[in-house]
Structure 1
């Protein structure tokens, strides 16, 4: 190894390699389910030691970005969940993990200009046309989460061709659109007439609301307002 390459390798930390691989996942150079090159091949490409790649891959594995298996190598998780203080769950998986039968109803779908609260959530200087979806997630045929979602057509043009009456936007986005920035808010509301009717609760019932917006770089992906039924619990872990 030449002195130049030795110096280059010494300067590439495992965090640098981790961030490079993560960036390739976010940009979909490595897509969900793809098998990654061997550690030694990545080490040669990026000019670092194999042990540096192994340390980076272990961190990505712990974060839920990739999955490493002895003898079969490393692949991007088909259902990536980025480790954070709070993860974005797939609601279907959430319901099934509780031992309930999952159901889903798309209530409305259309292309609309973003109203001021949505434009503000994304930091837009002017309204944009986005996909607006209203949906109801069910557990054992009972309302579970009422979802009001806006999806950017700039970062997610493929969603136009997805049958969202069959697969929820929540699940499609988690599976296909990893993010690198998220804003999250929790607050309580009292159910108004429409919420009460759709969630089958008493008008005035206290409900937990989760608002979440995600970006890839500075470009918005989606913002969603999820109103949950009484007794909903959000579990976290790392």
Structure 2
């Protein structure tokens, strides 16, 4: 069975933590790792990008990939796949696409990306559910010029959250946590009261300065966030 990039990343981290790979050790090249994990070189490169960003490995064009002298010392934030988060808690996952349309982004979204002016983007709203009960309402803007493949994805079957994490690497991420009062639509979708305070996780990602996505993940009443530092 082939591995995805998260599997590869986690296995390399495990080998480092258990000192199977020592600081300064050189990893096999991408092709050799692809053969070991039965996947494509692109999948290996995605895993290595994440490991390099977290300070676990050092990648050089002609020098290959080595374990850094002080690996896994930076605190990292892994964007969660909501489906896996729900299933890990022992719940059944389901998903409902609320809307999908190309619109001119509002000034707030353009500003979050650092854009000088609003531009056309793909807006996706969706509801993630646990045991058929509302869990997280996702309001997302995707820069389809940076990620044109998203336009061909059937987002009624696969969430943008999961597709982007598995297929679109990012180099920079900004995360904000805030509270907001539920709008009428949010109250209906999340089974809350209008104006009830809801917990919001807002994330914006870029690849080498180019915008990828900005999402507001609005959680059900009573949601608890558990974060682990790696």
Query: What does 1:89-104 align with in structure 2 at a 5 Å threshold?
Result: 89-104=80-95
TM-score (norm 2): 0.71
The CA RMSD over aligned residues, in Å, is: 3.2
Aligned to 2:183: 192
Structure (1 or 2) with the larger CA radius of gyration: 1
Structure 1 residue 224 and structure 2 residue 196: aligned? no
Indicate conservation of the 8 Å contact 2:46/2:169, yes or no.
no
Aligned to 1:134: 125
Aligned to 1:32: 43
SS of 1:208 mapped into structure 2:
strand
1:192: Cα distance to partner? Answer: 2.5
State the distance in 1 between where 2:60 and 2:195 align. 62
State the distance in 2 between where 1:195 and 1:217 align. 33
Structure 1 residue 166 and structure 2 residue 157: aligned? yes
State the distance in 1 between where 2:63 and 2:66 align. 14
Aligned to 2:8: none
1:157: Cα distance to partner? Answer: 0.4
Query: What does 1:1-238 align with in structure 2 at a 5 Å threshold?
Result: 30-32=41-43, 46-47=62-63, 53-56=65-68, 59=71, 84-237=75-228, 238=230
SS of 2:204 mapped into structure 1:
strand
**C-alpha distance 99-133 of structure 1, shift in aligned 2 (>3 A):** same
**C-alpha distance 217-54 of structure 1, shift in aligned 2 (>3 A):** closer
**C-alpha distance 120-45 of structure 1, shift in aligned 2 (>3 A):** closer
Indicate conservation of the 8 Å contact 1:188/1:207, yes or no.
yes
SS of 1:31 mapped into structure 2:
helix
Give per-residue Cα distances to partners, 1:79-114, cap 9 Å, x unaligned. xxxx84432000000000111100100000011111
5+ residue gaps, structure 2, are 1-22, 31-39, 48-58
State the distance in 1 between where 2:147 and 2:97 align. 19
Runs of 4+ residues over 3 Å off in structure 1 = 33-36, 56-59
TM-score (norm 1): 0.69
State the distance in 2 between where 1:120 and 1:173 align. 21
